[in-house]
Amino acid sequence: MDIFDRLRDARGPDWQGYVAHPFVDALGDGSLPIAAFKTYLIQDYLFLIQFARAHALAVYKSRRLADMRAAAKGVTAILERELDLHLTYCRGWGLDPEAVEKMPEHRATTAYTRYVIDVGFSGDLLDLHVALAPCIIGYYEIATGLAVRPGALLAANPYAGWISEYAGEGYSQVATAARTHLEALADRFMAPARFDEVAEIFGTACRLEADFWEMGWQSA
């Protein structure tokens, strides 16, 4: 098992609370209220802005050029492509991009993103990437799990596009690269005695991700 598998197994209840949240199940069968999804979309845009800051912090925390370049690619991808794509996607759901940009952060958005940044400041590069992993790698795991459910990718499911995007080849490459990088960082930075500390970061990030789903779930 790689480090991601080990972390997931060590924090099984936290992981399951995240990937099996009712919000996720409702994406798969199309029963999620539209209002809940729109709330999620707005907050996910604000979430991405803070994740750009987290990747910029990873540049600062890096001691190797390869790590710096990997983090810089993340910053560029978010700022130059993903934010604009997200606003375009929001427009397709009837959300005004200018209004989305002006919306305040929900507490759940602030809690997770600032936790990631705090972990990055107080810890090392491994700590930061462990805190990021439930989001970056977890979305692929969630989407691929949903994609095999009967009817999940049919046109009748309004969320089939979201599932296809995160289960697709493009995002698969993103998740695989993040997982490979996480494993390399663990080889360099993690002594066996440190595993429990790192697993706690992973578990906390999973719980905060579950709270992010809950934010959307409760908004309907």
Report the distance separating Cα 54 and Cα 24, nearest Å: 25
Per-residue pLDDT tens digits for 75-105: 999 999 999 999 999 999 999 999 999 999 9
pLDDT at 78: 95
Q: Is position 206 annotated as part of the catalytic site?
A: no
Catalytic-role residue among 135, 169, 206, 214: 135
Residue 220 pLDDT: 77
Q: What mean pLDDT do residues 18-29 have?
A: 98
Q: What local confidence, expressed as pLDDT, does residue 185 receive?
A: 96
The active-site residue out of 90, 141, 206, 209 is 209
pLDDT tens profile 106-143:
999 999 999 999 999 999 999 999 999 999 999 999 99
Question: Could you confirm whether 209 is annotated as catalytic?
Answer: yes
Cα–Cα distance for residue pair 140/146, rounded to 1 Å: 10
Question: Residue 57 has what DSSP assignment?
Answer: H
CB 142 within 8 Å of CB 28: no
Region 61-71: mean pLDDT is 95
Above 80 in pLDDT, residue 154?
yes
Mean pLDDT of 147-167: 97
Q: What is the pLDDT of residue 156?
A: 97
Percent of the chain with pLDDT over 70: 100
The three-state secondary structure class of 118 is helix
Question: In the predicted model, what is the mean pLDDT of the chain?
Answer: 96
Average pLDDT over residues 34-51: 97
Give the separation between CA 40 and CA 7, rounded to whole angstroms.
Answer: 26
Domain at 3-219: CATH code: 1.20.910.10
